[in-house]
Structure 1
């Protein structure tokens, strides 16, 4: 992590992680951060430094001429009725040809605050890597991501988790069935989205070719035997809870013969990939994890489905 990370105490970063996971409320977060205030580093400065800065984290502009992006609504009869999402394709894949090139698809699943600008930016990054990416918003039924992470988290906490999962399954199956998809899709996501990527692997069986969950909970043990996807796991070595659960996660995949690879990235906390939260972001390991994810998805999604 950069020099700025050393200015913010690790305990304050941990409080932020607990806050965004809903383990403590905003008042407890601010009160806890105040314990770390020292001369030149007030509580308000610490809180401001921990909040996401989406302009800072944007790598691909929304109007980048190399991509084409649209908001699309997908039916979800077993979920909340429908789910809206952000569909991004490389511009060359959207040619005027009657038979456009078929692309592999990637479902990009947000954290527990809705489809925020960081997740949309990740979808655009996949499009530049020649994937068709769809980033669904599980807050669709309550109006979508409200433009504020705190409000988004409150809306998220009130929703039916099972229906949210069914919305994501519907989104994945819709992406796989698109005529411009090669029939092979992968899933990735962050925190909640990482856990949902693991869950989709168990729920979708052979319909999911690969998954690359970032700091997400493991697939429920009863669903692991159904996994046919190749699983690439990313955890931060300093993300204590998930790092401690990692050996059991790997053992379960090995027990059922699931193809997998796992990384405990050094000097990395929960959220290390998120460049919109600079106090958690580790540019070195984030770049390494991204490169490995692209390689993993290239390997497992480039061949079209036979028949």
Structure 2
């Protein structure tokens, strides 16, 4: 029997169809964005050790689109993240959401968060940042993306990565981090956290957080705000007092329509204000 190497695995991996198994049943409030007027679907991103799958959505006509990296939660690039990419495409962006866990496992097929967490814990930040660099290169090489108008947004796990990538890539014009963890232990796989890069951050990042988030305490949000004061980035953090974690996730019980709508409007304004 032929051994499946990591390179072979990621080269043959594909994106999830529908919603991740761990988030069933899906809420009746789920938002569905059609592909009318769009080019949307799976693409393969060349990376250092093969290819990773990504979901790309962009307007069907035109070129030189601003690029938005859409960074998934712990459930991977399932239907919700694909829909967010389509929402960006409807606004005129080339939105691309790479599957950043694929070497460690296919989280969309796991039935609980407790099964997913050990997979996510094995994902090195360095691998993620490298894959995002490769994703930006793909968008530019496609002939459709304008690297001078590059933005990033991410949710939960992806919210943390949004802060880190904004510090990593000076070409990023702006970021919007949705309820991403701000503090943590320094480990070999996660050497730095957002609070560690805050004071030297140069890219403006808007943080959107919930006051009732039991996993991201308000004292850590205040710690981040305090560190950001000494940066040149003009970053900001908004806290919605009554919102829980994952308040943008319209497919989950945590969804809060009012706060999600306000955050989405703030994201669009933030991107426009900073040239994305």
> TM-score by structure 2 length?
0.78
Give the gaps of 5 or more residues in structure 2.
Answer: 1-22, 183-192
Partner of 1:30: none
Give the gaps of 5 or more residues in structure 1.
Answer: 1-49, 303-307
Partner of 1:72: 43
Higher relative helix content: 1
Partner of 1:188: 153
Distance apart, 1:122 and its partner CA = 0.7
SS at 2:205 equivalent? strand
Per-residue CA distance 1:220-259 (angstroms, 9 max, x = gap) = 4553455332111100011143422111211212202211
2:253 is the counterpart of 1:293: no
Write the distance in 2 (CA, Å) between the matches of 1:138 and 1:76: 11
User: Which has the higher Rg, Structure 1 or Structure 2?
Assistant: 1
Per-residue CA distance 1:158-205 (angstroms, 9 max, x = gap) = 44443234223322343355422222211111111000000101111x
Instruction: Name the Cα RMSD after superposition.
Output: 2.4
Conserved 8 A contact 2:199-2:231: yes
SS at 2:134 equivalent? helix
Distance apart, 1:129 and its partner CA = 1.3
Q: 1:153 to 1:217 in 2, by over 3 A?
A: closer
Partner of 2:56: 87
SS at 1:146 equivalent? helix
Map 1:1-307 onto structure 2 (within 5 A): 51=24, 53=26, 56-61=29-34, 64-77=35-48, 80-91=49-60, 95=61, 100-141=62-103, 144-148=106-110, 150=112, 152-153=116-117, 155-176=119-140, 178-183=142-147, 184-204=149-169, 206-218=170-182, 219-224=193-198, 226-240=200-214, 241-277=216-252, 279-302=253-276
Conserved 8 A contact 1:116-1:145: no
Q: 1:239 to 1:86 in 2, by over 3 A?
A: same
Per-residue CA distance 1:66-107 (angstroms, 9 max, x = gap) = 221131111221xx543210010022xxx3xxxx33111110
> TM-score by structure 1 length?
0.70
The count of corresponding residues between Structure 1 and Structure 2 is: 240
Q: 1:221 to 1:273 in 2, by over 3 A?
A: closer
Write the distance in 1 (CA, Å) between the matches of 2:255 and 2:104: 30
Distance apart, 1:121 and its partner CA = 0.8
